[in-house]
Amino acid sequence: MVHSAAEIAQASTDLACKQATNFMGIATAVQDAYDQQYIAQHTQALADYRRQFDDRIHAAAQIVASSGQPPSV
């Protein structure tokens, strides 16, 4: 794909603005803060999800190890 001079100029201006304002650094810091807040507010639900996920992985490993036979539960 070949870009026009106008598209290249616009992209260059956009990049220069993002660098001058530290847009990506700020956006990343804000997202991280929201993520940390979510984790703090949903610790038990996330732990439950992780435990269920780990159980499924363990069951899948047992199936593979037993040549495709489902594990006895």
Q: If you write DSSP's letter for every residue of 14-63 in order, what string do you get?
A: HHHHHHHHTHHHHHHHHHHHHHHHHHHHTHHHHHHHHHHHHHHHHHHHHH
In this prediction, residue 67 has a pLDDT band, given cuts at 50, 70 and 90, of: confident
* 15-60 pLDDT, tens digit each: 999 999 999 999 999 999 999 999 999 999 999 999 999 999 999 9
What distances in angstroms separate CA 60 from CA 28, 31, 47, one per listed residue?
36, 34, 20
Token pair recorded at residue 60:
């899948």
Residue pair 71/65 in contact by the 8 Å Cβ criterion: no
pLDDT value of residue 45? 98
